[in-house]
C-alpha cells in the first residue's frame, strides 16, 4: 500500500524526511532480531517509507481490519508512537507465540490475544528504544504497550490527532518467515519526529545552511587592533580542511586509544585529535616491565590440630558396607515374570573381567575374583582417583 497525501515540504525538508526514515530504520531494524528470537522465525523489517500528511488525509484501508498498539515514551522522548497492523498478521504472530495454528474462523481477538501482541510489541519497542538510546546518547524508556482493535478509522484518528494536524507516518514492510509478507505503519506527531532528528543536529536551519549556503568570502581585516589575549596563545597548529557537516559525538563515538606494546619498542609520538579539528603531539606513556611472579602450588604436609585429629579418629571408626558387583543386566518386567529355576542371565561382563568394588553404593576400585580357604575374595588391582570419586558424587 502506497502512502497517501503530500509530503508537506513546508513542514519538513526532504533531508529531514530521509533522516527520520534512517533513524527509524536503525531503531526498528535492530528489533527484528528480538522478534525473530521470540517467534522462532526469520523476521525482516525493510527500509521504511516516510510520509507527512494531515490526520484527515491519513488512510490505512489496505490494513483493515486493523489492530493498533499504543506506545508512550516516559523518559528521553515526549510523545506517543502508534503502530497499526493487519489483524491477519496479529493472528500469525499470536499463533507463533502461543504455538497454536489459528484459522481465520477460529481466531478471536480476545484479551489473551491482545496481551500476546502487546508482549511482542513490548519486546520489539524495547529493543528499538535501546537502539535509540545509543543513537541519542541518552536513556529512553517506554511504558507497557496498549493494544486494541480499530473498529472505526475516523474515531481512531480523532483519538490521537486533530483533523488538520500534520502527522508523520512511517510505512514498513514486515516479513515473518514464509508465513506473511505484509506492512505495518508507525504514526507519530510532527513534534516527536522533529525531536528525534534535532538530537542529531538535523534541524531545518542547520540542514539548509549545510546544503544550500555558499562558502563565505574572506572578510578584510578590521581597522582596529584586536585586544590582547588574557592567556598565552597555544602553539600554532595546522587545522584540517573544514567539512560541510560534522556529525555529533553521540552518533560517531570516539575510538579508544590503544597503548603501544611495552617490550622494548622505541618510544613513538602519536597525534591526538582534538574536537574542533586541531591536533597536538602527545608522548606515549612509559611502562615498567617486571618478571611475573607465580604462586607456589607445591603440596605441603598438612599438620592437624588436636581437635581435627580427634574428629578424624571418630570418622575412621564409622562402619561402611563393601559390596562387589560381578556384572549387571537389564530386563523388562514381563521377562522377569517368566523367570524359573535354571534360568540363565547373561551379564554385561566377560569371564575373567575385573569386578567393581562399591563402598556404600559408590564405586571406588576394581579387582580380580580369587578363592581363599573356600571363600570368595577380591584382589584390588585399581583404585579410583579422588577426582573420579568426587565427579561421580555430583
Q: How confident is the model at residue 237 (pLDDT cuts 50, 70, 90)?
A: very low
Of the candidates 16, 26, 10, the one whose C-alpha atom is nearest the C-alpha of residue 50 is 16
Domain locations in the chain as residue ranges: 14-209, 319-393
Of the candidates 391, 336, 339, the one whose C-alpha atom is nearest the C-alpha of residue 363 is 391
Question: What is the per-residue pLDDT for 2?
Answer: 41
Question: What is the per-residue pLDDT for 296?
Answer: 65
Question: What is the per-residue pLDDT for 298?
Answer: 62
Could you tell me what percentage of the chain is helix, strand and coil, using 3-state DSSP and rounding each to the nearest 5?
30, 25, 45
Question: What is the per-residue pLDDT for 148?
Answer: 87
Q: Is pLDDT larger for residue 304 or for residue 204?
A: 304
Q: Which helix (H) or strand (E) holds 108?
A: none
pLDDT exceeds cutoff 70 at 203? no
Domain 319-393 is in which class? Answer: mainly beta
Question: What is the per-residue pLDDT for 394?
Answer: 62
Task: Find out whether 110 and 90 touch, Cβ atoms under 8 Å.
Answer: no
pTM over 0.75: no
Give the tens place of pLDDT for each residue, 23-58.
888 777 777 788 888 788 888 887 788 888 888 888
Q: Which helix (H) or strand (E) holds 230?
A: none
Query: Which grid coordinates are listed for 355?
Result: 569386578
Give Cα 136 distance to the centre of its chain.
18
Question: What is the per-residue pLDDT for 300?
Answer: 62
pLDDT exceeds cutoff 60 at 205? no
Mean of all residue pLDDT scores within the chain: 74
pLDDT exceeds cutoff 70 at 202? no
Q: How confident is the model at residue 281 (pLDDT cuts 50, 70, 90)?
A: low
**Residues 6 or more apart from 203 whose CB is under 8 A from it?**
194, 197
Give the tens place of pLDDT for each residue, 355-383.
889 888 888 899 988 888 888 899 999 88
Give the tens place of pLDDT for each residue, 92-121.
888 888 788 888 778 888 888 888 888 888
Rounded distance, CA 126 to CA 27, Å? 10
Q: What percent of the chain has pLDDT over 90?
A: 1
Task: Find out whether 24 and 170 touch, Cβ atoms under 8 Å.
Answer: yes
Question: What is the per-residue pLDDT for 286?
Answer: 66
Chosen CATH of 14-209 out of 2.40.37.10, 3.40.1550.10, 3.40.190.80, 1.10.10.10: 3.40.1550.10
226 in helix, strand or coil?
A: coil
pLDDT exceeds cutoff 60 at 89? yes
Amino acid at each position: 500500500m502506497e502512502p497517501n497525501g503530500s509530503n508537506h515540504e513546508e513542514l519538513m525538508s526532504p533531508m529531514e524526511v530521509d533522516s527520520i526514515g534512517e533513524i527509524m530504520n536503525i531503531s526498528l531494524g535492530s528489533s527484528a532480531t528480538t522478534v525473530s528470537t521470540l517467534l522462532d522465525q526469520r523476521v525482516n523489517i525493510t527500509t521504511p517509507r516516510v510520509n507527512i500528511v494531515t490526520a484527515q488525509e491519513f488512510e490505512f484501508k489496505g490494513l483493515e481490519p486493523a489492530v493498533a498498539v499504543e506506545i508512550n515514551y516516559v523518559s528521553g522522548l515526549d510523545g506517543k508512537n502508534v503502530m497499526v497492523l493487519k489483524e491477519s498478521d496479529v493472528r500469525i504472530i499470536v499463533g507463533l507465540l502461543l504455538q497454536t495454528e489459528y484459522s481465520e474462523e477460529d481466531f478471536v481477538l480476545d484479551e489473551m490475544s491482545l496481551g500476546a501482541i502487546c508482549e511482542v510489541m513490548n519486546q520489539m519497542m524495547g529493543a528499538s528504544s535501546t537502539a535509540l538510546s545509543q543513537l541519542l546518547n541518552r536513556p529512553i524508556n517506554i511504558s507497557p504497550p496498549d493494544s486494541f482493535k480499530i473498529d472505526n478509522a475516523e474515531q481512531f484518528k480523532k483519538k490521537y490527532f486533530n483533523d488538520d494536524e500534520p502527522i508523520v507516518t512511517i510505512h514498513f514492510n514486515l516479513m515473518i518467515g514464509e508465513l506473511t509478507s505484509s506492512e505495518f505503519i508507525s504514526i507519530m506527531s510532527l513534534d516527536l519526529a522533529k525531536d528525534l532528528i534535532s538530537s542529531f543536529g538535523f534541524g531545518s536551519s542547520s540542514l539548509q545552511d549545510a546544503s544550500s549556503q555558499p562558502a563565505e568570502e574572506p572578510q578584510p581585516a578590521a581597522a582596529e587592533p584586536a585586544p590582547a589575549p588574557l592567556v598565552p596563545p597555544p602553539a600554532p597548529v595546522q587545522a584540517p580542511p573544514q567539512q560541510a557537516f560534522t556529525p555529533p559525538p553521540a552518533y560517531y563515538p570516539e575510538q579508544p586509544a590503544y597503548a603501544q606494546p611495552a617490550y622494548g619498542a622505541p618510544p613513538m609520538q602519536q597525534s591526538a585529535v582534538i574536537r574542533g579539528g586541531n591536533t597536538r603531539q602527545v608522548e606515549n606513556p612509559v611502562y615498567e616491565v617486571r618478571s611475573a611472579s607465580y604462586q607456589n602450588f607445591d603440596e605441603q604436609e598438612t599438620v592437624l590440630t588436636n581437635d581435627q585429629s580427634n574428629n578424624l579418629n571418630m570418622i575412621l571408626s564409622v562402619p561402611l558396607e563393601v559390596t562387589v558387583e560381578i556384572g549387571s543386566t537389564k530386563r523388562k518386567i514381563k521377562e522377569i515374570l517368566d523367570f524359573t529355576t535354571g534360568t540363565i542371565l547373561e551379564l554385561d561382563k566377560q569371564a575373567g573381567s575385573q569386578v567393581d568394588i562399591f563402598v556404600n553404593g559408590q564405586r571406588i576400585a576394581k579387582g580380580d575374583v580369587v578363592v581363599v580357604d573356600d571363600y570368595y575374595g577380591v584382589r584390588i588391582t585399581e583404585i579410583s582417583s579422588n577426582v573420579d570419586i568426587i565427579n561421580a558424587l555430583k
